[in-house]
Amino acid sequence: MKHNREFEIAWQGLKPGVHTYTYDVDDRFMEAQGHDGEFTGWDAKVTLTFDKHESFFMLRFDIDGKITVPCDRCGDDFALRLWDEFNLVIKLTGDDAADIEDEDDVIFIPRSETVIDISAWVYEFLMLSVPLQRIHPDGADGKPGCNPQALDLLNKLAEHPEEKKNPLWKGLDKLKG
């Protein structure tokens, strides 16, 4: 991964209180983070609210944007809107922070660290904001937004003619009851 200072926060110079940062994320950032290119057309805005306290920081990541994804139903690409929010707490510890295991939403860093690199969290939260099921949204008229030819083909494939029953298994149906 290429080093990018844009995503570093020098927290020691900040006054206690709330600080807001805005990051524009595109395909170049995702590729630098090692994204395999399954999704393209990244156009996201990440707003970070960094609330500095004496011994910990509260981070809130608000994600808004869109990406181009293939539809799981018809296979055609479409623009999918991203929106999500994630919270993260960073606790400051002594220099033995390596001995403390991070929790789900709590990260431990030593007080000797002067800069926090948030690029990995931005990448992770963007990937988590992509839904598992990606299907074209319905049109204004209520019809599916998918390719009509693909939907027709799927409907034809879904129709199963009555299967012939094998007389070999006929006796087993009596035991099933």
What's the pLDDT tens digit per position in 86-120?
999 999 987 665 556 667 788 998 888 889 999 99
DSSP state of 6: G
Q: What is the pLDDT of residue 137?
A: 83
Give the list of residues 6+ apart from residue 15 with CB closer than 8 angstroms, or none.
52
* Residue 143 tokens, joined: 């019809």
Cα separation of 82 and 42, whole Å? 10
Number of domains composing the chain: 1
- Structural domain for 100, as ranges: 5-157
pLDDT over 50 at 1, yes or no = no
For residue 174, being part of any structural domain is answered with: no
Closest listed residue to residue 146, CA positions, set 71, 67, 81, 79: 71
For residue 164, being part of any structural domain is answered with: no
Q: In which residue are the tokens 């809130």 written?
A: 60
Give the list of residues 6+ apart from residue 79 with CB closer than 8 angstroms, or none.
41, 66, 67, 68
b/e burial code for range 21-39 (CB count within 10 A of at least 16 → b): eebebebebbeebebeeeb
For residue 163, being part of any structural domain is answered with: no
For residue 114, being part of any structural domain is answered with: yes
Across the range 124-132, mean pLDDT stands at 94
Q: In which residue are the tokens 């030593």 written?
A: 110
Average pLDDT, the chain: 85
For residue 126, being part of any structural domain is answered with: yes
**What's the predicted TM-score (pTM) here?**
0.77
Please indicate whether residue 137 or residue 119 has the higher confidence score (pLDDT).
119
Cα separation of 50 and 109, whole Å? 16
What's the pLDDT tens digit per position in 24-47?
999 999 998 888 878 889 999 999
Q: What is the pLDDT of residue 140?
A: 79
Cα separation of 39 and 33, whole Å? 14
Contact 52, 16 (CB under 8 A): yes
Angle at 116 between CA 111 and CA 119, to 5 degrees: 155
For residue 139, being part of any structural domain is answered with: yes
Kindly state the percentage of the chain with pLDDT values over 70. Answer: 85
Q: What is the pLDDT of residue 155?
A: 78
